[in-house]
Amino acid sequence: MSTRDVPARIGDLPPLGRPANSALLEAGITTLAQVAAHDRRALLALHGVGPRAIRILDAALAEQGLAFAR
């Protein structure tokens, strides 16, 4: 899947950028609840998800009373 074909936003995820969105879509992650089921290290291992995306996801999780898995 080309990043051009990836939507700018997915489900209730915050805007992350197309490479991170593509990586999350390929991993089947489309909601913050699904993000919370993973730890930071596992998400960082996805090609396209970097520290900036993790910071954005962390803030969005905190707003919903959620956190990354440990």
Q: Is the separation of the CB atoms in 65 and 36 below 8 Å? A: no
Domain span holding position 20: 3-63
Q: Tell whether 70 is covered by a domain.
A: no
Q: Tell whether 7 is covered by a domain.
A: yes
Sign of the dihedral defined by the CA atoms of residues 27, 19, 12, 44, in that order:
positive
pLDDT digits (tens, 9 = 90+) for 28-39: 999 999 999 999
Tally of structural domains, the chain? 1
pLDDT digits (tens, 9 = 90+) for 40-50: 999 999 999 99
Dig out the tokens for 6 from the structure.
């990836």
Q: Tell whether 68 is covered by a domain.
A: no
CATH number at residue 51: 1.10.150
- What does the pLDDT read at residue 4? 63
